[in-house]
Amino acid sequence: MRTRAPSRTPDRGPRPRVSGAEWVAGFHAVVGALEQRADTVEVVWIVEGLTGARARRILDLVGRSGVRYQTVPRSKLAAVAGTPAHNGVAVRLAPTAFTDPAAILAVEGPACIIGLDGIEDGHNLGAVVRSAAAFGLAGVVVGGPHPPPLGGAAAKVAAGTLPLVRVGHVGSLGDFAAAARRRGFWVLGAEAGGVPIGNGDLPHRLLLCIGGEASGLRAKTRHALDGSVSIPMAAGVESLNLSVAAAIVAWEWRRRLPVARPSSPGIGEPGSG
C-alpha cells in the first residue's frame, strides 16, 4: 500500500443535491418514513379495506404524527407504487437532500464509508444503505453525474433505514477519494484480483470503492486506490451484485472492529450512521 502524504483539510464537495418528491410503497418503508421522517411525509395512502395488525400500526403512526392520509382503491395505489407488491400502503415524500460529502468525511475515529462509482439502480443503492445502517457505517457516497434519487426504489429497498445513514453525492468519486486520503482514510477498491479479504488487514478508516453496474470503477477512481480487496468465490462464478459485495466487505470490516455504534442523528449531522 502507498505511503501517506500529510493530512490537509479536504476540498468541499458540491452543494447538496435534492431529488423530486417520491412515492414509496411497502409496509416497512412506510413505517420507517412515519417513524424517522414524518416531517417529510406529504400524504399516506391506505388501500380500501385494509385490516389487521399492519393496518393498525400504520394508522397509529399516522395519528401520532398528524400526517394526512387517504383510503384509495387498490388500482390507484398500485399505479403510484409501480408494482402490485405494495402491502396496501404508500407515502409521498417531499424532496430529500443528499448530505454534504465533507460532513461524512468529518467523522472521527474508526469509520467505513462505501463509495459507489457510477451506480444507476435505485434498488442497489437502497440495499447498500440498508447494509450501511446494519453495520453502523459512517455513510455512503455516490459518484457520477446521475445518482439514483433518495426515494422510490432506493427508499423501498432500504426498508426504513434511509434516515439512519448519511448519503452524499459527488461528481467524481476519484476526487472524493483523494480528499478522504487527506483525512486519514485508506482507499480500497473491491475488485477481482485484489487481496482476499480474509488474508489482509482492513484499515480502521476505510473508504471502500465499488464500481457501478455497467463499467466498474472509473480510471480516476482506480488511480486513487491504495489497494484492492476481493471476495473469494467458487469456480464458475465471475462476480457478485455490487450491493452484495458491499455488504460482505462491510460485515468483515465491522467484525474486526466491534466498536459501539454511534447515535443516529438526522441526515447530514456528523456522527450518524
Same domain for 78 and 115: no
Distance CA 40, CA 49 (A): 26
pLDDT of residue 259: 63
pLDDT along the chain (273 residues), means of 10: 38 40 83 84 91 92 91 88 81 82 95 95 94 96 90 79 91 96 96 88 95 87 95 85 94 85 43 37
**For residue 249, is it within any domain?**
yes
The answer for residues whose C-beta is within 8 angstroms of residue 222's C-beta and 6 or more apart is: 174, 189
Q: pLDDT at position 14, please?
A: 37
pTM: 0.70
The answer to whether 216 and 191 have CB atoms below 8 angstroms apart is yes
User: How far is it, in rounded angstroms, from Cα 185 to Cα 204?
Assistant: 8
**DSSP symbols for 99-143:** BPHHHHHT--SSEEEEEEES---HHHHHHHHHHHHHTT-SEEEEE
Whether residues 73 and 112 share a domain: the answer is: no
- Strand 167-170 relative to strand 186-196: parallel, antiparallel, unpaired? unpaired
Do 109 and 132 lie in a common domain?
yes
Q: Could you count the other beta carbons within 10 Å of the beta carbon of residue 88?
A: 23
Query: Look-up: residue for cell 387498490?
Result: 74
Q: What pLDDT does residue 233 have?
A: 87
The letter for the amino acid at 12 is R
pLDDT score at 177: 97
Rounded to an integer, what distance in angstroms lies between the CA atom of residue 5 and that of residue 178? 11
Q: Quick one: pLDDT at residue 236? A: 82
Domains of the chain: total:
2
* Cell 442497489 belongs to residue: 124
| Residue 250 lies in domain | 101-256
What region does 16 belong to: left with phi over 0, alpha with psi -120 to 50, or beta?
A: beta
CA atoms within 13 A on the CB side of 42: 10
CA distance 226 to 242: 20
- At 261 the pLDDT is 52
Rounded CA gap, 24 and 42, in Å?
11
Question: Is 262 within a domain?
Answer: no
Whether 64 and 132 map to the same domain: the answer is no
CATH of the domain at 171: 3.40.1280.10
CA distance 125 to 143: 12
**Which SS3 state, helix, strand or coil, does residue 267 take?**
coil
Return the CATH number at 56: 3.30.1330.30
